[in-house]
Amino acid sequence: MIDTGRILDKLDAFLNKNDYAGAERHILYWLEEAGLSGNKSTMLLLQNELCGLYRKLGRKADALSAVENALRLVSDMGIENNVGAATTYINAGTVFKAFGKAQEAMPLFEKALAVYQKELPANDKRFGGLYNNMALTLVDLKAFGEALALYEKAIYVMENQKDGMLEVAITLLNIASLREAEMGLENAEKIIGELLDKAAKILDHYENRNGYYAFVCEKCASVYGYHGFFAYEKELKERAGEIYERN
């Protein structure tokens, strides 16, 4: 029997050290083992992990292949309307969005939303991630009002969740990007500055500085660099590096 808990714990250990090559080897090894034993639920779990890993690494062909495999498993298992399938729809949609396929991403996010609304309480933290991903995609489609409404819903859900304030910081930076796309950088300068200040206060005062905190710092750093806050960009990268080194 394959112990998925141990597999994910080991995967987290690789990711917390920024060891993406090790993470890929680990996933592929257990994916092969799951295939040999016909364990489709574990195969689906690992294909979802590959979607995220390859997206992060910018490996388009591999990411799209993982999406195809994951969606096929959902169909083969007959689980199209459960929460596990919704996770797959979100991962697939995120891959499509990342590689310029926003139109293809939205139907997948909408399928996930329909499942969540049926199966989960309205304050479940998973809604926060889904709203963020949908909003990012809507910004690409220039549906700014719809995107902002979803970002506000994400903040409402996440501000009372464990580690949720980190997600709030990310969402604030996402709103800054929305305002730039909607209004232009010069016209949105004041609003963007206020949003960046709010996000920085969250990052600076957050106490649980674990691997996820490092990931968020790394993700946010480039936004501050883009807007000319180079010293703060450097500081966030250093925070992340110290945590990865310690882990």
Total domains in the fold of the chain: 2
What backbone phi and psi angles, to 5 degrees, belong to 241? -60, -40
- Tell whether 135 and 108 lie within a shared domain: no
pLDDT tens digits for range 42-56: 999 999 999 999 999
Pairwise CA distance, residues 18 & 15, whole Å:
5
pLDDT at 2 over 90: no
Domain boundary among 64, 89, 120: 120
- Tell whether 175 and 103 lie within a shared domain: no
- Tell whether 17 and 128 lie within a shared domain: no
pLDDT bucket at 1, cuts 50 / 70 / 90: confident
Quote the pTM value.
0.86
pLDDT at 179 over 90: yes
- Tell whether 45 and 103 lie within a shared domain: yes
Domain of residue 141 covers 121-247
Where helices occur in the chain by DSSP H, the ranges are 4-16, 20-37, 40-57, 60-77, 83-98, 102-119, 125-140, 144-158, 164-183, 189-205, 211-226, 230-246
Q: What's the confidence (pLDDT) of residue 171?
A: 97
Task: Report the CATH number at residue 53.
Answer: 1.25.40.10
- Tell whether 75 and 130 lie within a shared domain: no
- Tell whether 116 and 12 lie within a shared domain: yes
pLDDT tens digits for range 79-89: 999 999 999 99
Query: Residue 152 carries which side chain, given as an amino acid letter?
Result: E
- Tell whether 169 and 202 lie within a shared domain: yes
Long-range contacts of 39-47 (CB under 8 A, 24+ apart): 39/2, 40/73, 40/76, 40/77, 41/77, 41/84, 42/2, 42/4, 42/7, 43/73, 44/70, 44/73, 44/74, 44/77, 44/84, 44/88, 45/4, 45/8, 46/7, 47/73, 47/88
- Mean pLDDT estimate for the chain: 95
- Tell whether 5 and 33 lie within a shared domain: yes
pLDDT at 213 over 90: yes
Domain boundary among 120, 140, 165: 120
Mean pLDDT of the 156-183 span: 94
Q: What's the confidence (pLDDT) of residue 246?
A: 85
Mean pLDDT of the 189-200 span: 97
Q: What's the confidence (pLDDT) of residue 133?
A: 95
Residues 6+ apart with CB under 8 A from 165: 158, 159, 202, 206
pLDDT bucket at 244, cuts 50 / 70 / 90: confident
Domain boundary among 95, 120, 145: 120
What is the chain's length? 247
Three-class DSSP category at 221: helix
Q: How many other CB atoms are there within 10 angstroms of residue 42's CB atom?
A: 20
